[in-house]
Structures are given as structure tokens and as C-alpha cells.
């Protein structure tokens, strides 16, 4: 069931320690309608971005060492803009920090007016219950022209949905009573970010070992040096 504006506002008024409370901060508006629809909240673009970096190798390998290798961090203060080149995707974050309760999931959608400029926000739009943090947004410019993004402007909308309880708990409305249905493990890897976050991977071999794969191909980049007997690999791995 999609949460209505009234329900979102009710939960936002709950004390932050209450299990069913929702936090969306800072919400900047004069009239509620400026950011709220009947069933969603509009969110603004934050000031920090991760831009794709030109790699020094022929591909990107999602492994433990990759977290900092793919992106360049950029800060664009309010009042300035960022140019997203044609056909390029960047990572941004919402200006708003979100906290979801354990009985609510969320989905981020591109604001329709933004979508009409051929900017697509989010390809992994689902937000799990209990998430807290600014939302990392994958912002793709799928048009043929560069597009300017202004931090502080509305960019996406957040739709919140209540997780349906099991039949025996269906009559109970409180989160507390539905704990069995709603038990989720908090992902402390992505806990409470206020900037867009680079992905955090384990090494592929470690992931694959968990499903029983014991032989894994890997790419090792090495340096060669000339010897009398020809080219030899240096011992240290790059």
C-alpha cells in the first residue's frame, strides 16, 4: 500500500526514536504542495557528486580495491551547476537525509519534468526498510546534448510503501507487533551516508566461493622488464 501524504506527514511528526517514524530532512517548502503530492515527496539534488574517472586499465573490475578507483569526487555548491555530458552517467545524492521505519520500503523515481529533459534518475531505485542516509542517485543523461544540473533543485520523487504484514498480524497496525514480518538486517556498509557513495565490493573470488565456485579467473596486470634472456615479469603485482 502506497503511503499517502497524510500518513507520511503523520509519521514525520513522530519522535525519531519511534519505530514507525519517518525522517526526510531538510524539507524546504513554503506550501506543502511544493514538495508533496498525494502519494509522494519530491526530493532535491545535493551538492556532492561522483563522476566517472578515466581508468588507467582497459576495464573496471568490481573488487575490494575498486571503491575509489572508478570515481572522482566533486562538490558543486548551491548556486552553481554541474554539466552532465551527453550519454554519461554520474552519481549524485539527494539533499534530504532519509530514515525509513522497518515497515516501509521506498522507491525513487525521476521527476517527470526532469525525465522530459532526457535525464534518468535511478536504475536501482528500491530503498529497503530502516534505510537511513541521503539517497545515492545514478543520474544518466541519455540525450545527445550536455545538460546542466543545479544542486538544490527538485530532481526525483520518493514513493513510500507499507510492507504487507502476514495474515495473523494483519489486524495489528503497529510496527512493534509486526516485528516477525519486518525483521531485516541493517546494512551497516551503506549506513547513513550524506554524500553519494561508491560501491563496496568483496573480491569476486570471495563472493563466488560462497556459492561453491573454487576456480575463478582473474586479471593480473604486471610490469615487464627486459633481461638478457628476454622480457620477464616483475614480481610485484600492480
Partner 1 sequence: MPSGLADLLHDAAVLHRFVDFIEEYCKEQERSQTYVDASGLFFQYVEKLAAGIKQELGREIERAQRFPSRLPILRSNIWTLKNYLRLLHALIKPAADAHTLTIPAPLIELAAHQLQQVERMKNSCVVILLTSEFMYFQRPHTDIKDQARIVETFIPKASFPPKLGFIELPYSQGPSFFTNLAIYHEIGHFVYEELSNSDPPHRHIAALKSAIVRSLNKAFRKRSLDPETFAVAAKILGNWIQEIFCDLFAIRLVGPAFSFAFVEMLGMLGFLSEKATVIFNPTHPATACRFAEHVRMLQNDSWWNAIANIDAGQKKLLERLSNLPQSGYKFYWDESTPGPQSLVQVFLDVVVPAIRKLVRQVTPENVTAVRRFEKARGSIEDCLRVGVVPHPTSSSPLDPVSIINSAFCFYLTALPEVVKRFEGADAENDVAVHSLWTKRLEMWTMKAIEDSQIQDRFRGVRGTALWSSLEKKS
The cell numbers describing 198, all together, are 561508491
Grid cell 540525450 in the structure block, residue: 143
**Of residues 39, 52, 62, 99, which one binds partner 1 by CB under 8 A?**
99
User: For residues 110-139, which are near partner 1 according to CB under 8 A?
Assistant: 132, 134
Give the count of residues interacting with partner 1 (CB under 8 A).
28
Stretch that binds partner 1, among 120-128, 164-172, 189-197, 201-209 (CB under 8 A): 189-197
Contact 43, 154 (CB under 8 A): yes
- Residue 191 interacting with partner 1 (CB under 8 A): yes
Alpha carbons 132 and 55: distance in angstroms, whole number: 31
List, by residue number, the catalytic residues: 138
- Residue 162 interacting with partner 1 (CB under 8 A): no
Q: How far is CA 178 from the centre of its chain?
A: 27
- Residue 15 interacting with partner 1 (CB under 8 A): yes
Q: State the sign of the Cα–Cα–Cα–Cα dihedral 74, 80, 86, 91.
A: positive
Alpha-carbon dihedral angle through residues 192, 66, 143, 77, given to the nearest 10 degrees:
50
Alpha carbons 11 and 211: distance in angstroms, whole number: 41
- Residue 17 interacting with partner 1 (CB under 8 A): yes
**Of residues 35, 50, 51, 76, which one binds partner 1 by CB under 8 A?**
76
Binding site for partner 1 (CB under 8 A): 15-17, 23, 25-26, 28, 30, 73-78, 80, 95, 97, 99, 132, 134, 152, 186, 188, 191-195
Amino acid at each position: 500500500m502506497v503511503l499517502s501524504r497524510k500518513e507520511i506527514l503523520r509519521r514525520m511528526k513522530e519522535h525519531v526514536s519511534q519505530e514507525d517514524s519517518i525522517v526526510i530532512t531538510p524539507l524546504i517548502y513554503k506550501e506543502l504542495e511544493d514538495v508533496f503530492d498525494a502519494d509522494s515527496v519530491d526530493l532535491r539534488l545535493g551538492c556532492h557528486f561522483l563522476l566517472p574517472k578515466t581508468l588507467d586499465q582497459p576495464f573496471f573490475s568490481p573488487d575490494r580495491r575498486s571503491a575509489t578507483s572508478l570515481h572522482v569526487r566533486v562538490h558543486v555548491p548551491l548556486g552553481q551547476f554541474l554539466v552532465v555530458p551527453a550519454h554519461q552517467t554520474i552519481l549524485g545524492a539527494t539533499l534530504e537525509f532519509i530514515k525509513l521505519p522497518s515497515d516501509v520500503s521506498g522507491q525513487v523515481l525521476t521527476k517527470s519534468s526532469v525525465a522530459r529533459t532526457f535525464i534518468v534518475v535511478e536504475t536501482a531505485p528500491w530503498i529497503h526498510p530502516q534505510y537511513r542516509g541521503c539517497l545515492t542517485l545514478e543520474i544518466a543523461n541519455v540525450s545527445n546534448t550536455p545538460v546542466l544540473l543545479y544542486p538544490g533543485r527538485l530532481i526525483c520523487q520518493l514513493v513510500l510503501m507499507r510492507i504487507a504484514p502476514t495474515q495473523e498480524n494483519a489486524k495489528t497496525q503497529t510496527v512493534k507487533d509486526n516485528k516477525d514480518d519486518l525483521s531485516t538486517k541493517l546494512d551497516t556498509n551503506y549506513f547513513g551516508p550524506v554524500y553519494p557513495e561508491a560501491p563496496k565490493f568483496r573480491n569476486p573470488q570471495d563472493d563466488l566461493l560462497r556459492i561453491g565456485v573454487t576456480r575463478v579467473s582473474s586479471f593480473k596486470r604486471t610490469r615487464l622488464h627486459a633481461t638478457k634472456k628476454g622480457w620477464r615479469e616483475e614480481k610485484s603485482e600492480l
